[in-house]
Amino acid sequence: MKVKRLSGVFIFICLSTGLHAEAHPASLELLGGLNADALESLERNDHIFRYDEENSGIQYFPETQGFGSLETMHQNLKPEVMVEALYRLPYPEGFDPDSEEILDIVYDLSHRVSLISGVKYFSVRKQDHEVLFTDVYRVNNLDEHKRMGDPLPGSQSPGESIYLHMKENALGSGYYRMDYQREQNSLSIMITNETDLGFIIPAVSVEDMIIYLNLIPCSDSILIYGYCGVVLQNDPIVRLLLDPYYAFYRRMTAMETWLYNSLHDTDRLPPLMDPLP
């Protein structure tokens, strides 16, 4: 199965509070591959994104560990729709990234999957914010689908995947797998659909959608690289019903919004922006 090939390159490296290395770089120092316009936009807005309509491949990944794993996943998936983004997530007030381990905190928060419920997006059709995800909860496995509460902080074993149920406003209800990978100075979270997704017609088959977030502590913020790759079913009809690039961009950004609100205990709405070329 495809997910076995993908998760084979997504091996969790054990969490450790003693993984501090040299002082964290500034976020823009890790983005030497971006052009001046993209860097200026990110510095001004703390968020940029692009649609890979020309199939030019991964362009935004920071100059740090993890690119090889992502590139392998991208090549295995061969997505017809791919979007990527960069976000700069501020540290909580008073937090010192040089003396405290933010990735351990985010790792625990990222298991509170029930808080994905209620995350909103901007509906172009309605010109208003709408709820994207509802009825989000953890399940014990993909056979029994037994509903479970969010795990207690520190209770998850390193490398342990979790499974969750999510209902979203266009693609309906489905089950997903969430995997984690920890490098020395980064934490990656990968979400893969484990059931078919669709609305009027089938849109995405099992394991044909990946949302990937890579979080890197920097001196000025937590730099988050976001990727969403999708293989569409009934491609021409789906494109008549929705803009697949915007549709999957907003799902990826909903996950960043969930992490932001979990870390800051807020109810921030996702930003309204246009893609860069």
227, 210 contact by CB (below 8 A): yes
b or e along 158-175 (b: 16 or more beta carbons within 10 Å of the residue's beta carbon)? eeeebbbbbebeebeebb
Whose tokens are 């109810």? That residue is 267
Give me the residues paired with residue 8 across strands: none
In the chain, where are the structural domains located? 38-264
225, 214 contact by CB (below 8 A): yes
Residue 265 has pLDDT above 70, yes or no: yes
Give me the residues paired with residue 177 across strands: 163, 192
Residue 17 has pLDDT above 90, yes or no: no
Secondary structure element (H or E) that encloses residue 253, with its range: helix 244-264
pTM summary value: 0.90
Q: What is the pLDDT of residue 86?
A: 98
Classify 244 as helix, strand or coil: helix
Q: Hey, what are 28's tokens?
A: 């823009």
More confident residue, 73 or 9: 73
Classify burial at 112, counting beta carbons within 10 Å of its beta carbon; exposed 0-12, middle 13-18, buried 19 or more: middle
Classify burial at 137, counting beta carbons within 10 Å of its beta carbon; exposed 0-12, middle 13-18, buried 19 or more: middle
182, 103 contact by CB (below 8 A): yes
Q: What is the mean pLDDT of residues 223-227?
A: 98
Distance of CA 9 to the CA centre of its chain: 17
In angstroms, the CA 200 to CA 217 distance is 42
CB atoms within 10 A of CB 77: 20
The CA distances from residue 25 to 21, 45, 100, 259, in Å, are 11, 19, 15, 22
Name which of 112, 91, 109 is nearest 216 in CA terms: 91
pLDDT tens digits, 57-109: 999 999 988 888 899 999 999 999 999 999 999 999 989 888 788 999 999 99
Share of the chain above pLDDT 70, in %: 92
Q: Hey, what are 232's tokens?
A: 């569409």
Task: Give me the helices (H) in 63-175, please.
Answer: 67-77, 102-109
Is 38-264 assigned to CATH 3.30.530.20? yes
48, 38 contact by CB (below 8 A): yes
Residue 3 has pLDDT above 80, yes or no: no
264, 244 contact by CB (below 8 A): no
In angstroms, the CA 90 to CA 220 distance is 7
Residue 22: pLDDT band with limits 50, 70, 90: low
Which residues does 37 contact at the CB level (< 8 Å), separation at least 6?
Answer: 276
Q: What is the pLDDT of residue 12?
A: 37
